[in-house]
Each structure stands twice: as C-alpha cells, then as structure tokens.
C-alpha cells in the first residue's frame, strides 16, 4: 500500500506558521506526520507550539528533538551549537526566554524527545533526524562537499533521510538515497517567508521510487515578526527581520 508522510520541522516557536502548514497538510490527507525538531527557539510562542506538537504526537505524529531544543531545555550551549567557539549572548537570551515560557512538564517533554525515529514502509526504511544520521548539528546543505555528504548519509541504511537544520528546503537523490529537507516551517533562510512542509510518497511497487513534493503555504509572517520584535530581547530586531523576509538577518 502506498504511504504518504507529511514532514515538517524547524518550527522555532512560530505557531502561526505551524498552523498554516497543518491546515495545508490536512487538505492533502497524509497517512502520518513527521516533525524533525527545533520546536521553540527564537519564535514568539514556544509554549503554544509545544502544546500543539504534543497533541499531534498523541494523534500519531513522529516527533524528534533538534539541537536548539537542547539549548532551551537544559542550556547546554556547547551541545546545541558546537560550531561556535563563543555562543553569542543573543542565542543565550533567546534560549533562556523560551525556557522561562515553558512549564516544567513542557521542559520534560523536550528532554524526553528522541534524536531520531525510524519507520519501515513496505521494506523501505525512512529515517527522521534533525541534521543528518547520528547528528543534530552536522547538516546536509546542498553546497556541502560531496565527500562529506556521502560520509554523513551513509551512517544509516535508510532509503529516505528526512531532516532539517539548514532552514533551506531541498529534495535530492544521492545514489539510492532520497534526502528530504522540508525547510524551516517558522524561520526560513531561503528567501521565502511562507511556512514549509513536504509530502513524501512511499510506493508499494518494488520498481517505483520514493518521491517528495515541497509546499509553501502563506501565513501572516509580518504579524509573527512584529510579535518577536515587541519582546525586546537582544537580537530580536534581526529575528523579526528573518521571519519577515525568509532570509537569515544578523
């Protein structure tokens, strides 16, 4: 039987973008939802986002943690941002603010999330990870050195790698592997401020190949940006500009 999986991630506390993506997903009637982490950091409504995600999980969604979920839950900045020799005060301020917005129960939920989930579909393995197999922080950007890309994707036998982290939507084949990154649902870096998600189709024919389609439903990004700007945290003017434009502003 053909199975269709909706994939989204990198919500970053932007519940307005999440709701726009979910409304679009509902119209396509997928069999299952996969959420690839980074749920709360930077955005205006981390607590509402967590509650929405928990409800989705109760309905069968597969949910994993991202690197910034570690920063928000436990302030382990070296684990969350290992590529930074000195974690900026703006990152710490955003993580601490999100932490303070969450209840103890919500923080425990973040801590309990796995780093990866696997799903077998008619003999084909789908791996949900945040950045790449075995890593929350070593991503798979399209311009990554090909040798490094191969080294990272071959850490798993999965036919499909559903990931995030780069905040840039991307679907590509690499040998027998399909790399699927739906982009950032709530904090895009690819020049389009719309919400992001992807529809993965797993075939039931041995000769057919998995395929994926990207979707960008519109939402009120200006309102989300205005809400972030109104917090007054260090770096919020840049976060607001990123949400509004869909480009990383810093």
pLDDT score, position 249? 95
Domain ranges of the chain: 3-245
| pLDDT confidence band for 38 (50 / 70 / 90) | very high
Cβ atoms 195, 182 nearer than 8 A: no
| pLDDT confidence band for 1 (50 / 70 / 90) | confident
The second-level CATH assignment, the architecture, of 3-245 is 4-Layer Sandwich (3.60)
Beta-bridge mates of residue 119? 126
pLDDT in tens, 150-175: 999 999 999 999 999 999 999 999 99
Would you report the helix, strand and coil content of the chain in percent, each value rounded to 5?
35, 20, 45
Mean pLDDT for all residues in the chain: 97
Closest by CA to 161, choosing from 123, 132, 182, 139, is 132
- Checking 90-97 for CB contacts under 8 A at 24+ apart, the result is 90/233, 90/234, 90/235, 90/238, 91/235, 93/233, 93/234, 93/235, 94/41, 94/42, 94/233, 94/235, 94/239, 95/41, 95/68, 95/71, 97/231, 97/233
Q: What percent of the chain has a predicted confidence (pLDDT) above 90?
A: 96
Residue with tokens 């941002």: 81
């Amino acid at each position: 039987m053909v199975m269709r999986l909706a994939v989204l991630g990198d919500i970053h506390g932007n519940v307005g973008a999440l709701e726009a993506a979910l409304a679009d997903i509902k119209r396509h009637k997928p069999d299952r939802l996969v959420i690839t982490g980074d749920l709360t950091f930077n955005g205006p409504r981390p607590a509402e986002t967590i509650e929405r995600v928990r409800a989705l999980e109760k309905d069968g969604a597969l949910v994993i943690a991202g690197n910034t979920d570690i920063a928000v839950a436990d302030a382990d900045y070296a684990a969350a941002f290992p590529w930074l020799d000195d974690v900026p005060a703006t990152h710490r301020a955003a993580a601490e603010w999100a932490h303070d917005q969450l209840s103890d129960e919500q923080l425990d939920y973040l801590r309990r999330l796995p780093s990866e989930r696997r799903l077998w579909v008619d003999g084909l393995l789908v791996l949900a990870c945040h950045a790449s197999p075995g890593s929350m922080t070593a991503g798979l950007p399209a311009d990554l050195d090909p040798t490094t890309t191969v080294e990272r994707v071959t850490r798993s036998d999965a036919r499909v790698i559903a990931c995030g982290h780069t905040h840039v939507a991307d679907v590509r084949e690499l040998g027998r592997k399909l790399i699927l990154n739906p982009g950032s649902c709530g904090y895009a870096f690819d020049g389009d401020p719309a919400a992001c998600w992807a529809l993965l189709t797993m075939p039931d024919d041995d000769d057919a190949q998995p395929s994926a389609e990207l979707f960008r439903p519109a939402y009120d990004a200006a309102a989300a940006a205005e809400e972030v700007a109104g917090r007054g945290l260090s770096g919020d003017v840049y976060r607001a500009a990123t949400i509004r434009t869909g480009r990383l502003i810093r």
